[in-house]
Amino acid sequence: MTLIKSISGIRGTIGGKVGENLTPIDAVKFASAYGAWLKGETKKQHPTVVVGRDARISGAMIQQLVMNSLVGLGIHVIDLGLSTTPTVEVAVPIEEADGGIILTASHNPKQWNALKLLNSKGEFLNATNGEKILKIAEHDDYFFAEVDDLGSITENNTYIDRHIDEVLKLKLVDVDAISTAGFKVVVDGVNSTGGIAIPKLLRKMGVEVVELYCEPNGHFPHNPEPLKEHLTDLSALVIKEKADLGIVVDPDVDRLAFMSEDGEMFGEEYTLVACADYVLGKQNGNTVSNLSSSRALRDVTEKHGGSYEASAVGEVNVVELMKDNKAIIGGEGNGGIIYPELHYGRDSLVGVALFLTHLAEKKSTVSALRKSYPSYYMSKNKIQLTPTMDVDGILSQFQEKNKEETITTIDGVKVDYEKSWVHLRKSNTEPIIRIYTEALSQEEADQLAEKTIAVLKGIAGI
């Protein structure tokens, strides 16, 4: 059982001992630290915070603890109830709120939950503010309101619909083209809030929907990370229903993957590639993804005359670089689409609408669209070290061995070879080096990973 405190929030497994798991006391402690920080930042006696959650079994319990902790600090809460991560992000600025909290452990299994923290723009906090909240929590440095100054809770269950309306108003979303195409889509909502939001969005665009695991009861029917090995039921149903495609999201709906009409994965890395191809075909601009994402985005961006840049891993880093480079679309290779025209956050609803518009205009099958993009293959591995080993020193020696290649060190060490790359990142919580490789075939990606692991073991003497 685990409790992980980081600058982006707190996450852990439900139950167990205080300070070792995400217990009710830990939820209260961290929500109170966030509220105390927010009051200090805003200088308001009664700031406003938007709170929403995915459909995890523990969600209602954690939400009541979090909201009432904020009320105890004199903070007014807007309760969205069952929601999605991007929906909460959209709601914060619309409500002119001072912050937001999303209760979700994203793609983690059902025993996990988390508090994800937002600023007044509906964006994730930066490292500086995250550190301040951790320090407040460490020292129990919060002061609760007296009885006449308590906050309040206001329910608002309209925001998934409002989020959908905002998506449909985007100028690059063509509802008429999508409706005319007559798509039939199977949706796997992993029994969380994607099962509410994605079918609603599709039906508003005139799409025939076949629902699979769309009951938001928190009982995930398979591993909730949207990877091929977890999606055999979706594959079978797409083929059985003769659907045009399948759509799957993670429990909080910020990761999006498509399945082709033949039951094969479109590829999580290619969600962003396809959406960027469509957007860049309509307007000139630049793109950003993180260092561990596919080269295919760079290729597509340069095809359209744009500039591609890679950030350190982490949504807040992608967003920061997108703003610096005035990128018109970006995201992460795990199926996260960030489209600033609506907001700076990974958003599966935006991704679905852009992708289906692209598909409708192309008059293409999903499998044919996938074949139109450069094919790259990835391998993801890790090497376990002992706690006494100098991980930074090992990475430095690996960098020296590849000094003739293109090296990037903003997040671990990435080595770009002519037709492949390897990215090494150390874990912040355990003595592990994560190894990501990409090449023009799966065999080459696997071989590069094996070669890299051998070199690292040689350096480490294991």
**Which parts of 7-156 are beta strand (E)?**
9-13, 48-53, 76-82, 99-103, 112-118, 153-155
Sequence-ordered list of residues with C-beta below 8 angstroms from that of 264, at least 6 positions apart, any chain: 235, 367
Q: Please state, in angstroms and rounded to a whole number, the distance separating the CA atoms of residues 80 and 155.
A: 6
Nearest C-alpha neighbor of 351 from the set 438, 437, 262, 245: 245
DSSP per-residue codes, 416-447? E-SS-EEEEEE-SSSSEEEEEEEESSHHHHHH
Annotated active-site residue in 32, 69, 106, 235: 106
- Count of alpha carbons within 13 Å of 346, Cβ hemisphere only? 27
- The amino acid present at 369, given as its one-letter code, is L
User: Which helix (DSSP H) or strand (DSSP E) does residue 28 occupy?
Assistant: helix 24-42
| Element counts in the chain: helices (H) and strands (E) | 15, 20
106 is catalytic: yes
> Contact 45/149 with Cβ under 8 angstroms?
yes
Nearest C-alpha neighbor of 346 from the set 6, 64, 8, 15: 8
**Which parts of 162-285 are beta strand (E)?**
184-188, 208-212, 245-249, 256-259
> Contact 48/95 with Cβ under 8 angstroms?
yes
SS3 152: coil
Q: Please state, in angstroms and rounded to a whole number, the distance separating the CA atoms of residues 354 and 37.
A: 37
Residue with tokens 């990037």: 408
Nearest C-alpha neighbor of 460 from the set 394, 375, 368: 394
- 10 Å CB burial of residue 129 (0-12, 13-18, 19+) is middle
Nearest C-alpha neighbor of 201 from the set 190, 185, 212, 216: 185
Q: What DSSP state is assigned to residue 339?
A: -
Q: Any idea which residues carry the catalytic annotation?
A: 106
